[in-house]
Amino acid sequence: MEVRNAMSENGSGSIAALLGRKVGMTRVYDDKGTAVPVTVVQAGPCIVTQVKTADGKDGYNAIQLGFEEIKERRSTKPLVGHCQKTGQTSPKRHFKEVRLKDKPTLVAGATVDVGIFELIKYVDVMGTSKGKGMQGVMKRWNFGGQPGSHGTERKHRSPGGIGGGQGTRGHGRAIRLGKKMAGHLGDEQVTAKNLAVVGVDKEKHLILVKGTVPGANGGLVFVRQAKTILENIRGQETKKAETSNKKKK
């Protein structure tokens, strides 16, 4: 698998990534006429607002991406000055640092767009899930609830007994840590892994990924090259090289 990466000198160990907005869901048809559900993400363009190198004062390789322009009066003076160092006159609304194993080749002020995903087949998408407020155990943890008859009255959706005298050994009869109970649901960071890239539109800065993406329409998302798939491919390449070396011996 050929991986295009415009962020580092060496493609191994580096991740192509962009900040964007979830537009919504639709469907496209493949060559066989099969409907494929896809999520449309407007990714970038992002500005490189900072470059960090292992041999510099930071001690590690990374680039910082800035996304969405914002008026100076709606930002802070430190962020305005931080963005002006790159040659960009307007500050950005969102920032995200991307760690790299190799030394970055991009310089501060460079623009990164969806073109980096043209040769990438799978991506991970990180977003904030929809908040559902305080919910009971049936919705939050998929509990079955109490029986619909046999004396149950006005507590069909209750969790039932939560103590039972078991507790945590050595700490009295307190409820065990991690007990599944009612509480806040949603509004947390979720990562959808290994989503297939269906298409890329460089003119409109759109990327189509198969399946669902966490968050509501218009929510901020972070799209990166799939780490799991990439690591599996590297592992297979290493095994193939070792096998070929053994055969030669």
Q: pLDDT (tens digit, 9 = 90+) per residue, 46-71?
A: 999 999 999 888 899 999 999 988 99
Q: Which residue carries 């003076």 as its tokens? A: 77
State the Cα–Cα distance between residues 84 and 117, nearest whole angstrom. Answer: 28
Residues written for the chain: 249
In DSSP terms, 199 is beta-bridged to: 208
Q: Are 63 and 101 in contact (CB under 8 A)?
A: no
Say whether the peptide bond before residue 45 is cis (omega within 30 degrees of 0): yes
Q: 39: closest CA among 28, 55, 51?
A: 28
Residue 114 near residue 46, CB atoms below 8 Å? no
Coil, strand or helix: which one is 141?
helix
Q: Determine contact, residues 209/41, Cβ cutoff 8 Å.
A: yes
Distance spanning both ends of the chain, measured CA to CA: 27
Residues 25-41, mean pLDDT to the nearest whole number: 93
Name the pLDDT band for 186 (thresholds 50, 70, 90).
Answer: very high
Amino acid 213 reads V
- CB-count exposure of residue 43 (10 Å: 0-12, 13-18, 19+): buried
Report CA torsion sign: 169, 171, 174, 176: negative
Residue 101 has pLDDT above 50, yes or no: yes
DSSP state of 149: S
The pLDDT tens digits for 118-169 are: 889 999 999 999 999 999 999 999 999 998 877 888 889 999 887 666 656 6
Token pair of 55 as six digits:
């041999």
Q: What are phi and psi of 160, to 5 degrees?
A: 90, -160
Residue at 165: amino acid letter: G
Residue 109, judged by CB atoms within 10 A of its CB (0-12, 13-18, 19+), counts as: middle
Q: How confident is the model at residue 246 (pLDDT cuts 50, 70, 90)?
A: low
Per the prediction, the chain carries an average pLDDT of 85
